[in-house]
Amino acid sequence: MTAQHATFGIIGAGAIGLSIAYQLAKTRDSARESIVVLDAQLPGAASWAGAGILPPPVQTPTTDPLEALQQLSLQQLPEWSRELLERTGIDNQYQRCGGFYLAMSTGEQAALAGLQSFWKIAGIETHVVIAEQWQHDQPWLAQHASLETCRRIVAVPGEAQLRNPRHLQALRLACTQLGVQFVALDSSAAQRLALDPTTHSVSWGSQESWRCDRWLLAAGSWTSQLLQRWVPDLRGVGSVFPVKGEMLLFKLPTRPFQSIINVGTRYFVPRQDGHVLVGSTEQEVGFDGTTSTAARDDLLSFTRQTLPGLLDWPVVQQWAGLRPASFDHTPLMGAIPGHPNLWVASGHFRSGLQWSVGTALCLAALLRDQPPPLDLRVFQPRR
Ligand SMILES: Cc1cc2nc3c(=O)[nH]c(=O)nc-3n(C[C@H](O)[C@H](O)[C@H](O)COP(=O)(O)OP(=O)(O)OC[C@H]3O[C@@H](n4cnc5c(N)ncnc54)[C@H](O)[C@@H]3O)c2cc1C
């Protein structure tokens, strides 16, 4: 068996792995650096399943590491979207569409009051909307939403969205154009991936193997499974586990409303072509990426309570994705201690799209031994 060689090997082609590959590829010295991405397209991968909601970033200088990661990402994402469109012709439909936050119970009202205080400190523009005014300004919603129990509506004009599948297609095509090699694995090969720590080669029982100077694990919810096989002593290294989220997709003839509607952890996201996403559930059921009747009923019941008019239109799709969660809701980003050629970027839970660009900028720097744009101490895998 002869191993092919690349400078950087990335395992996983979700939003995180692809963004890092893209950042490395567009800044590489092609005479000296090469990149390979191994991916298995496992059922339940999160990035294709996400809603693509991008809350407005904190507008003031911040020392909070998660806010800084979000700020860095969301400042760059409009530019990345333009750049990807130019390179590939694929429009990820990034749009600053605004968001409404609705409080339907006293608990949600208290939570929204807390959010409002945070937005104020963070310099994020918001305004309280009077229900009558909302009804006047939003004719479709006035007719089809159920606002009897609504206690408060807050508008957040800086909220944005993009369409995940298109963004991923654009990243993948741009990477290919920039010379990144992709190796498609089937799920049984993915289960057998083995790292030889002496030669830095990754193999999967076939004739093919790759020897890379630096390996990065961006395998989403499956990251810890690989780490457990590859790193015998994982003491102190945080773990990543799957949290399933399900979504329904309605199809209307035209876009019925412009802004994302958020109610607690649930939402309605209107796409440009009349699709409306309703999401999302949260369940810890291991690596089960299948859809369920219970989740469908749950999301339909949420729709009936909030936007019953949507039920006049068909549900054209239901899907599930496994969010990679970490025990402290903070992603793992950095080197694996004791393994000089192994890095990890995973555990982005409900925010992997909105944190993807910042993650890419940081990891591309780390993989080249350059100083990252953010202080990454709290993200260290060992903590
Ligand atoms: C329903 C839902 C709604 C969401 N909404 C939003 C949102 O609005 N905004 C937001 O920012 N985030 C959202 N998220 C979260 C976001 O989607 C995730 O945080 C993000 O996609 C994680 O990306 P990832 O690349 O780490 O993981 P993944 O997308 O899961 O990618 C991991 C990849 O690694 C591959 N892989 C795994 N093991 C192996 C192996 N052994 N060999 C080779 N390949 C392997 C998998 O096949 C997969 O392609 C949502 C998630 C869900 C499920």
| CB-count exposure of residue 383 (10 Å: 0-12, 13-18, 19+) | middle
Nearest CA to ligand 1 atom 22: 352
- Residue 81 pLDDT class (50, 70, 90 cuts): very high
- Residue 326 pLDDT class (50, 70, 90 cuts): very high
Question: What CATH number labels 3-90+164-239+327-379?
Answer: 3.50.50.60
Same fold, 3-90+164-239+327-379 and 99-157+241-324: no
pLDDT of residue 312: 97
Q: Is the pLDDT of residue 238 over 90?
A: no
Q: Is the pLDDT of residue 168 over 80?
A: yes
Q: For the chain, what is the mean pLDDT?
A: 95
Looking from the CA of residue 42, the nearest atom of ligand 1 is: 47
* Cα of 153 from ligand 1 centre, angstroms: 31
Looking from the CA of residue 352, the nearest atom of ligand 1 is: 19
Domain boundaries, the chain: 3-90+164-239+327-379, 99-157+241-324
Q: 260-273 pLDDT, tens per residue? A: 999 999 999 999 99
Q: Is the pLDDT of residue 100 over 70?
A: yes
The percent of residues above 70 in pLDDT, for the chain, comes to 99
- Residue 142 pLDDT class (50, 70, 90 cuts): confident
The percent of residues above 90 in pLDDT, for the chain, comes to 88
Residue 322, number of CB atoms within 10 A of its CB: 24
Looking from the CA of residue 226, the nearest atom of ligand 1 is: 41
pLDDT average, residue stretch 23-41: 95
Looking from the CA of residue 353, the nearest atom of ligand 1 is: 11
* Cα of 222 from ligand 1 centre, angstroms: 10
Q: Is the pLDDT of residue 1 over 70?
A: no
CATH 3.30.9.10, domain 99-157+241-324, yes or no: yes
Instruction: List ligand 1's pocket residues with C-beta within 6 A.
Output: 11-17, 38-42, 45-47, 49-53, 185, 190, 193, 218-222, 226, 245, 247, 279-280, 321, 323-324, 346, 348-354
pLDDT of residue 147: 84
Nearest CA to ligand 1 atom 44: 39
Q: Is the pLDDT of residue 209 over 80?
A: yes
Alpha carbons 201 and 3: distance in angstroms, whole number: 7
pLDDT of residue 131: 78
* Cα of 21 from ligand 1 centre, angstroms: 15
Q: Is the pLDDT of residue 154 over 90?
A: yes
Alpha carbons 108 and 305: distance in angstroms, whole number: 15
